[in-house]
Amino acid sequence: MAPDAMKRTRTETDSLGSLEIPDEAYWGIHTARALENFPISRRPISVYADLVRALAMVKQASARANREIGVLDAERADLIDRAAQRVIDGEFLDQFVVGVIQGGAGTSTNMNANEVITNIALEMAGREKGDYAFLSPIDHTNRSQSTNDVYPTAVKIGLSLDLQTLLEELDLLRRAFLAKAVEFHDILKIGRTQLQDAVPMTLGQEFHGFATTLGYDHQRLAENAKLLFEVNMGATAIGTGITTHPAYAPAVLRHLREISGLDLATADDLVESTSDTGSFMSFSASLKRNAIKLSKICNDLRLLSSGPQAGLGEINLPARQAGSSIMPGKVNPVIPEVVNQVAYAVAGADLTVTMAAEGGQLQLNAFEPVIAHSIFQSITWMRRSMHTLRVNCVEGITANRDRLGAMVGSSVGVVTALTPFIGYSASAALAKTALLTHRSVADLVVEAGLMSREEVEKQLSPARLSGLEAVTQAIPIVQAVEDLVEG
């Protein structure tokens, strides 16, 4: 007999009929129907471990609250509590098998959690899986709850937990750019606006700007995350709290705060909170902001490293892999490129969240599963992309000092620093002459008698060109402009 034929099953029944469930499975008939109905993403909810942990936290808090208010006996409450703790600790992750994309506003996810935790508890009690007469996924593990308060609360907690690792990685990336800013603090280069030569700066200033913008994003993400701390536990179906004891909502909140370590609060209007997904939109938007700004930084890294011979070639990115199957020796900026693509995906996910939020109707938004999937995926991909950008790119960036020095030395952009002393018109005329003759701006200024060599060198010092040393006053502007313009 084939091994599959020898597998034992148990029979479970719901309002639609009966199904055979693999005996080793901790999930049950509601999960089995979801597996049949939603073979869409081929990605189980277990890919988001913090969502699973958050579901178990909600079940654990509910068991404690139900015991406290007297609607669940101590034995069953304790079994659910201990079973949920095992899931929180990382066990049984592979039993959370329903697809991330599902109809039913998250009911399949809630039932997957109810069934797994219940069957873990039954096994701990020395009973067979599926012995729901003793401990029921719905009557006991789901007591005082509805998918419509469990699911959004678990998503918010899961996202809050997941965000912590993203923020840690974001700060490490910020520090990596800051370290490069210190390393490159004395390297002059030409800044650019609209891809045209502008005025000098240091490479350190450029990298310090990257670090600063990531620091601002860290703040915005942390601020928007606080919107997720408002939960609707106790709302049950539509926010009216039907089937719950009046003492349940404050009790479950207290336990949930203790278990999660988050500063959670019960929404003022549970009807509004049950149907509203505005906090997800705001949080998703802050993720998109971070992704787009990170992508812009990666665009800059690709431009600055372009060449290496026929491009800007100001910096060198670490060579990570061969860049071509036909051009020997070619190396591409593959790490910034992958971060760019993650940013595009995050922007698309944000649009998905927006459309799903708009699609909610009346007392419930049925599309929270795709909202949850979109945001969890964005956090996951961003965290991983930040890690590879830091480790495989930023930390190994080097500067082409000689090339940067040559660019500054031959640039007419330095004439901008002399405009307070010789005037705009004279500066423009000198810039034109320098471009036509390929001569040094400094030499032309001295030859025209507009400034002494000593004064020119002082104003064109690296500290003043980069703005690190402020120009406090200007010498009198030389009134020999007309001859310069005509010449």
Q: What is d(CA 224, CA 284) in angstroms, rounded to the nearest whole number?
A: 9
Partnered with residue 341 across adjacent β-strands are none
- What does DSSP assign to residue 45? G
**Considering only CA atoms, which of 172, 224, 89 is closest in space to residue 388?**
172
Burial of 309 (0-12, 13-18, 19+ CB in 10 A): exposed
Query: Which residues 6+ apart lie within 8 Å of 435 measured at CB?
Result: 412
Helix H, strand E, coil C: the string for 415-432 is: HHHHHHHHCHHHHHHHHH
Q: Percentage helix, strand, coil, to 5, in the chain? A: 60, 10, 30
Structure tokens at 465: 């060109």
Q: What is d(CA 22, CA 11) in angstroms, rounded to the nearest whole number?
A: 9
- At residue 270's C-alpha, the angle toward residues 268 and 276, to 5°, is 100
- At residue 25's C-alpha, the angle toward residues 23 and 27, to 5°, is 125
Burial of 439 (0-12, 13-18, 19+ CB in 10 A): middle
**Considering only CA atoms, which of 186, 216, 188 is closest in space to residue 417?**
188
- What does DSSP assign to residue 332? -
Residues noted as catalytic: 324
Structure tokens at 387: 């890690």
